[in-house]
Chain A
Amino acid sequence: QKEVEQDPGPLSVPEGAIVSLNCTYSNSAFQYFMWYRQYSRKGPELLMYTYSSGNKEDGRFTAQVDKSSKYISLFIRDSQPSDSATYLCAMRGATTNDYKLSFGAGTTVTVRA
């Protein structure tokens, strides 16, 4: 079993729709949770960064963490064609030496104009 599971999609939505992405994980030691956006043939770009459980909102993006279910989500409201990319979840533990990230496989999203 992979440490982080993420449905690779692809996911296609019309412009203006809400995009819902999620990851599940097995390691209960994970405390920091991140979402990255990666455009084709580019490096990942950090979108959201959350610690422990709860919600975090930044503009059109909302990240949710449910540690009891080992489940994290990213919602993109009012999606735009420019949101078309691969979205990767990543997570790590909380100790000083737990700086290595564990990534999901990434979900490819296409927003149709």
Chain B
Amino acid sequence: GAVVSQHPSRVICKSGTSVKIECRSLDFQATTMFWYRQFPKKSLMLMATSNEGSKATYEQGVEKDKFLINHASLTLSTLTVTSAHPEDSSFYICSASRQGDRDTQYFGPGTRLTVL
């Protein structure tokens, strides 16, 4: 168990459009989900932490209005990149923690976003 999926795996969009990325825990309930961004050959940078039913907590320097996070259920969180620009191109990865066990994060396969 502990499988996390992301959709889409890859997306290419035009500058100025918005892109929604879904993160689902397939076989467990995730109280907490995390959104990361990863640049080539760089570490994962935490963008925000979302708890089911409440507003996400954003890391310093991450624009809340730019990266909208919704965690509407115990198995689904979405990240919407609004008015995307080429500098938003990156690999976005989500992770989820089981209900009652925030010690362990299970990662999704990632979404490659390319903004033209």
Question: Which residues of A approach B to under 8 Å, CB–CB?
Answer: 4, 6, 8, 32, 36, 41-46, 49, 88, 99-101, 103-106, 108
Question: A105 to B49, Cβ gap below 8 A?
Answer: no
A-B contact pairs, 30 of them (CB 8 A): A4-B43, A32-B103, A36-B107, A41-B110, A42-B109, A42-B110, A43-B4, A43-B6, A43-B93, A43-B95, A43-B107, A43-B109, A44-B44, A44-B93, A46-B104, A46-B106, A46-B107, A49-B103, A49-B104, A88-B43, A99-B97, A101-B44, A101-B105, A103-B43, A103-B44, A104-B43, A105-B41, A105-B42, A105-B43, A106-B42
Q: With A41-B112, A43-B4, A46-B107 given, can you name 6 additional A-B contacts, CB distance below 8 Å? A: A36-B107, A42-B109, A43-B109, A45-B107, A46-B105, A101-B46
- Across the two chains, which residue of chain A brings its CB closest to B5? A43
Question: Which residues of B approach A to under 8 Å, CB–CB?
Answer: 4, 6, 32, 34, 41-44, 46, 49, 91, 93, 95, 97, 102-110, 112
Q: Which residues of A contact B95 (CB under 8 A)?
A: 43
- Across the two chains, which residue of chain B brings its CB closest to A44? B107
Q: In angstroms, how far is the closest chain B Cβ from the Cβ of A76?
A: 20
Q: Which residues of A contact B110 (CB under 8 A)?
A: 41-43
Most chain A beta-carbon neighbours within 10 Å: one of B4, B6, B43, B105:
B43
A6 CA to B112 CA, complexed, in Å? 24
Q: Which residues of A contact B102 (CB under 8 A)?
A: 99
A46 CA to B49 CA, complexed, in Å? 19
Question: A100 to B46, Cβ gap below 8 A?
Answer: yes
> Which one of A42, A44, A99 contacts B32 once the chains associate, using CB atoms below 8 Å?
A99
Q: Which residues of B contact A36 (CB under 8 A)?
A: 107
Q: In angstroms, how far is the closest chain B Cβ from the Cβ of A111?
A: 19
Q: In angstroms, how far is the closest chain B Cβ from the Cβ of A48?
A: 12
Q: Which residues of B contact A41 (CB under 8 A)?
A: 91, 110, 112
A7 CA to B97 CA, complexed, in Å? 28
A106 CA to B41 CA, complexed, in Å? 7
A6 CA to B41 CA, complexed, in Å? 12
Q: In angstroms, how far is the closest chain A Cβ from the Cβ of B7?
A: 13
